[in-house]
Structure 1
């Protein structure tokens, strides 16, 4: 046991709340007198367990952030976890945004919030995060972390989509190799996501017009933004090109910070470098909570 692991002993528990008759589930790590609250939104084909992988507390965002003094809520996004199967309540972005906000409010009932809420999103969860950041209810929002998303797909992902289009028997592109590349970036029992996987709701197979929505939503985000792409990202174009391209959309943000996570694949929160990634972004969350102002040259800065 390393000296850090006892600090990650914060209890993580599952909680289910009611949102207008639909159950909403989440993993929660609560601390007394938190500096702030982090709301962590998982990506596609997984659940909130992405942020607290079974058997790997060192990789857990919930445990690491709680050790740093933050309460963390990791809701199962609309259509996942307890809300799976309630498709009539999840069809539109507005419905999903409302559901997410109602769930967060119910989870935060009687809990201290510190100075506000920070949204931390991975991959497909970034769409929900941007809608939430554009909502009038985002008044106490401190900032946003977006990981594993972009505007231009990586050539490997493009090939998978082309194979899908050429074979009508396929129901969706097979991106498994790109999502979990390279294998050595993950512990053996984590690679492939067998213990955290879940069926995707129907709406995630219909994302026409998302690029236009991304440009519109990103331009209206009025809080600091942190963007992370993995060194070995194979779903989106990464490196300086991918990072700067995405950063250029956030014209209304007072601060945009870019980070390439060394040694990581697409799933940055469950790879071997997850702790390094979490600590890096938690430093940004702390700065947002303290109200650190943007520097004149901040926009587009790449931490590397």
Structure 2
């Protein structure tokens, strides 16, 4: 287990919205419309596919009114094409959530959506998957799939193997909905870490597909460790300093890293000055720089790839 240091930063003349404007796209995958935001870089170093968490959408990575927090704008300014997908059951695919709920169906649909959205666009060194919170479940399934060996690597954040005691009490079970105000406290505190108008997530809120509660019920205890052991590409795991949902103490992070027994490397980043919603806080640029440093390392290595 290693820790990264940031060595990528935006150019001094980066001016946010003028630098690049992500475009909204919809791809038809066998009758399922899959929406996304795309920010292209000419001759990209690589392509980053970003997967949002629960109760939000692809705008998590390009929050309205805050271009300075946008992964799409930040990474494309540094030479990466970024495709932020609305995960299956979100965005334009929401009406088909029941049909596309099975695990393998969602993986297949996501891989197909990536290929359709990117088309003949250059991919540089390849595709790196970057996921947050509930989106980490899909990212891990994608990486554990046989096609996952072609990925450059994955970034996981806002997830774990065990809830903190307070979070476990608040979140309860799928049959006992958690009190909204208590969940807000878990996800958006300390409040000084975020722009005031973003607290609560209203600018990027989305309905959650019904299948997701069942998926997450077995995630930490069963699916995460079983799937992690099958991943054969580099793994980067970020734990926010003020994460209140998942255990992030030293022992917990060691347990997480130890699950990836087939991965060529596992890097743990303890992100100072950030809470659960890493891409919506004031510390987002530093977080991006750290993960992009890891992505850059992956572009220069074929470790974990089959000959």
- TM-score strictly above 0.5: yes
Q: Which has the higher helix share?
A: 2
- Whether 1:44 aligns to 2:58 is no
Helix, strand or coil at the partner of 1:206: helix
Gaps of 5+ in 1: 295-304
Q: Which moved more, 1:173-182 or 1:270-279?
A: 173-182
| Deviations 1:156-176 (CA, angstroms, capped at 9, x unpaired) | 2112034x68xx7x5346422
CA offsets per residue over residues 100-123 of structure 1, 9 Å max, x none?
111111001121111110000001
- Of 177, 182, 192, 2:185 maps to 177
Change (3 A) 1:57 1:7: closer
> Structure 1 residue 89: deviation in Å?
2.6
The answer to whether the 8 Å contact 2:126/2:151 transfers is yes
Aligned to 2:205: 197
Quick check: 1:120 aligned with 2:133? Answer: no
- 1:245 and 1:263 map into 2 onto residues whose CA distance is 23
Residue from 242, 246, 255 that aligns with 2:252 = 242
After the TM superposition, which parts of structure 1 deviate over 6 Å for at least 4 consecutive aligned residues? none
TM-fit CA distance, 1:128: 0.3
Of residues 49, 58, 76, the one that matches 2:68 is 58
* Alignment-derived partner of residue 298 in structure 1: none
- Identify if the C-alpha distance between structure 1 residues 102 and 293 changes in structure 2 by more than 3 Å, giving closer, same or farther: closer
Residues paired across the two proteins, number: 289
**Deviation sequence 1:14-43 (CA, Å, 0-9, x none):** 000101101100000011111110000000
1:206 — aligned with what?
214
8 Å CA contact retained: 2:140, 2:227: yes
1:216-235 equivalences under 5 Å are 216-235=226-245
2:274 matched to 1:257? no
8 Å CA contact 2:240–2:275 kept in 1: the answer is yes
Match of 2:150 among 137, 140, 145: 140
1:55 counterpart SS class: coil
Partner of 2:20 in structure 1? Answer: 10
Q: 1:292 to 1:240 in 2, by over 3 A?
A: farther
1:284 aligns with 2:294: yes
What is residue 273 of structure 1 aligned with on the other side?
283
**SS at 1:98 equivalent:** helix
* Alignment TM-score, normalising by the size of structure 1: 0.90
2:169 aligned partner:
159
SS at match of 1:103: helix
Q: Distance in 2 between matches of 1:242 and 1:77?
A: 28
- Check conservation: 1:5, 1:57, Cα contact below 8 A: no
Match of 1:84 among 94, 97, 101: 94
Aligned partners of 1:16 and 1:24 also within 8 Å: yes
Q: Which runs of 5+ in 2 are unaligned?
A: 1-10
Tell me the SS of whatever aligns to 2:276.
coil
Task: State the shift of 1:245 in Å.
Answer: 1.7
Distance 1:292 1:104, change over 3 A: closer
SS of the residue 2:49 aligns to: strand
Cα RMSD between the aligned structures? 1.9
Give the deviation of 1:142 after TM superposition. Answer: 0.4
Q: How far apart in 2 are the matches of 1:4 and 1:271?
A: 22
1:34 pairs with one of 16, 37, 44? 44
Q: Secondary structure at 2:124's aligned position in 1? A: coil
